[in-house]
Amino acid sequence: MGVIARQSIKGAVANYLGVAIGFFVSFFILTRYLTQEEIGLTRVMVDAALLFSSLAQLGTNASIVRFFPWFKSEKSETSIPNHGIFGLSMLVPLAGFSLFALAFLIFRDPLLTVYAMKSPLVADYFYLIPMLTFFALYTTVFETNASVLLRITVPKLVREVGIRLFNLATYLLYGYDLISLDVFVWLFCGSYGLAMVLNLTYLRSLGRISFRIDRGFLDRHVPGKEKLDVIGYRSVSLGFLFLTFTIITGAIWAEQAWGSYWSWDPKETWSLITWLVYAAYLHMRLRRGWQGRAAAIFAMVGFVCVMFTYVGVNTFLPGVHSYA
């Protein structure tokens, strides 16, 4: 039996164990020892952290899977295992998390208002969400790094079994009044931090990762600025076509559903703003010959508009598209 088959079977066993533990905890522990408000607090904090961590990844997990074969190296080829892809996979999410932390500070009050509606207790522990986001972010990044090394069993055990068992102990300690609510919430968040540390420790034990980045390898293989500029232009052009098609078909659907092609709902408005930003980018590119740094900054502004349309509108500007 090959290593992939063995790891798949072991990973499936870990998943089933996690499901069994989760079923027991949900139906026999949470309902007995925690109030609805406390259960809501844990759910909201985890949901928020998973949402923010998925955005802060900036596509890191997909990039690891996509480009690992390109970075992969034998021990004799270089002193830096796999040409430092692990180091890169640490830096990109860190940049994404920094952007998230800045946005969290700027929009803290509106975010708190939204999440406090789902669980009033969130207001008392809202400051822990960035920490939980950081833990969830790197737990998944380390798990993805382990998966491309064909070592998925331990990370799955940590995520599916380890976190649930640790939280089970936390629920029982709180249920028997051995710890306060403050300590309970800190331990609950700490379970994800422990998972992150365990995954990192396991990766280091494999001896096939390095925090260093093989800059020479990148200099030899990463496309130059001119080619990256062309790639960015072509990507924006393709995305602009899809965005235009989506807005038009959405307007047609809205007329059938609500009797109006356009109602200036926040989602519609910000979709139009995003379209205008990218239209301006393409216009300046084609008419004025914009390239390099200026074009890249403009494309980044468009990306920020996309993310606000996707997440920010639903959070801060509710409307008929709040479900989207």
Whole-number Å distance between alpha carbons of 286 and 271:
22
Asked if residue 254 lies in contact with residue 260, where contact means CB atoms within 8 angstroms, the answer is yes
Q: Running along the chain, 324 residues long, what does each successive block of 10 average in pLDDT?
A: 70 83 90 89 90 88 88 72 85 90 83 76 88 95 91 90 94 93 94 94 87 78 78 89 91 84 85 91 83 83 85 70 54
Whole-number Å distance between alpha carbons of 303 and 278:
9
pLDDT score of 146: 92
The amino acid at 35? T
The amino acid at 81? P
Other C-beta atoms closer than 10 Å to the C-beta of 266 total 18
Q: Give the SS3 label for residue 50.
A: helix
Other C-beta atoms closer than 10 Å to the C-beta of 149 total 17
Q: Residues 104, 108, 113, 116: is their CA dihedral positive or negative?
A: positive
pLDDT score of 181: 93
pLDDT score of 322: 57
Other C-beta atoms closer than 10 Å to the C-beta of 168 total 17
